Chains A and B, each alone.
Chain A
Amino acid sequence: MSTTSQKHRDFVGEPMGDKSVTALSGIGEILGKKLEEQGFDKAYVVLGQFLLLKKDTEMFTEWLRDASGANSRQAGSCAQCLREWCDAFL
């Protein structure tokens, strides 16, 4: 997690607005589709879940892995970008 992807920087750099769930770092098309199937169609819905878990990165990664089948790197990346977004905009 030392280096951040371009996607991560893009997401953390501005309010998420109405971005799709696939705008989240670590969430690609396939994972995005799985999340959308479960109702997590927007990034802010995932943020909501993240906040419900009290910004607990560990719990969130666990949830994301369960919910979307993401691997731990993808889930960790998503959690990190959400946390940093929260630090910046919440």
Chain B
Amino acid sequence: MAEFLEDPSVLTKDKLKNELAANNVPLPSGEHKKEVYVQLYLKNLTVLNNKKSPPADTFSSDEELPAPVVSNKSRSGRKATKKTDKPRTEEVEVTDLTDEDLKQQLAKHGVDSGPIVATTRKLYEKKLQKLLDQPPAEPEAPTDVTALPKADSNQNGNTNSDQYSDKEDEEIAAPEPEPVPVVEKPVRSRGKAPVTSRTSSRRQTKVVEEIIVEETPKKASESVVEDILANEISTPTGISATCRRPIRGAAGRPVKPSEYWLDESHVQHTVLTETRSYSESFSRPGSSISSSKAPARRGVLSLLLKLLLLIVVGGSLYYAYQNLDADQINTLKGLVDSVVVPLQGAVENAATYLGISSSSNGATESAGN
């Protein structure tokens, strides 16, 4: 089969354009009738066809035949027969590719291709063709974007993990040894030789262990706080999965059993922190009890106040009662006076007259009362 059609008018206008463009034939600017492209095709491509005709002679049958040939090719030598493979493929490049190359090209463009076999190859060729030339600007930028993140994500993942593990190592090794200078040297010397997460975890646990043994928990928490701060400063995002571990482990925060590490030291440590947190939680209820006692005391106080008030009221009442008695007496006395005074005056007059004032006084008083 010839590479270019003898009668290009069977092709659609778009296909004509594509073929012309693919073969570096300058297209007239703007839109034209199909006839224009057909003429261009005949002039530029069909002429080439005649030059190439000797090798293409062997496939001078119509389109029906190449299909089985393709299936044979996909299994056997591809490159030799590929060039004369399909009459309608726009670019020789795509059809020239081997299965693996085609797959790689597709992968480059972000297409996750399945197996490229006889029945699927044509489709994938088309797809790649579309990706390659249909919108040359658009898909390639996105495909680059899609292709790059893959590599980047890997790199990022690697570098990040390295970074984090490294930094954790150094920062745990650096700030913590300050309080414990004895620990510092072995840790550092170990820390710089192998940089893997495994060793880092080992070192961490060792450091933590030594902290537990040698330091007070306060110091540990302080140094760990320093760690956190250092980590946050050093990591650009401030987000790192690993730097939270020491926080829970060392900073005296309550540690859930699910977050235990397998290391004994850490378990011990967490137990320590747990006991601490327990003590805290116990002390907290105590304080809360005292705070709850405060209202109770207030109740007691109010009771006492009430009692006091009662006593005061009672006392005042009693006092008033007593006073009232005196008053009553006074008033009574007043009454008595008002009633008795004339009588008394008369009696006194009579008594003074008779000379028995005192006795008569008592008599009048008894009478008045």
Contact = CB atoms under 8 A, between A and B. Distances in A.
Tell me if chain B binds chain A.
yes
Contacts of A38: 67
Nearest to A48: B119
A52 B113 CA distance: 9
B312 interface: no
A54 B111 CA distance: 12
A4 to B, nearest CB: 26
A49 B123 CA distance: 11
Contacts of B112: 54
SS of B interface (majority): helix
Nearest to A51: B114
Interface string A47-90: 00100111010010011001000000000000000000000000
B120 A52 contact: yes
Given A54-B112, A54-B114, A49 B119 contact: yes
B127 to A, nearest CB: 7
Interface in B63-108: 67
Q: How large is the interface on A (under 10, 10 to 19, 20 to 34, 35 or more residues)?
A: 10 to 19
Contact of A52 (B114, B126, B127): B114
B117 interface: yes
Contacts of A54: 112-114
Contacts of B26: none
19 contacts: A49-B119, A52-B115, A52-B117, A52-B119, A52-B120, A53-B114, A53-B123, A54-B112, A54-B114, A56-B114, A59-B123, A59-B127, A62-B123, A62-B126, A63-B119, A63-B120, A63-B123, A66-B122, A66-B123
Interface of A: 38, 49, 52-54, 56, 59, 62-63, 66
Given A52-B119, A54-B114, A66-B122, 11 more contacts: A38-B67, A52-B120, A53-B114, A53-B120, A54-B112, A59-B123, A59-B127, A62-B123, A62-B126, A63-B120, A63-B123
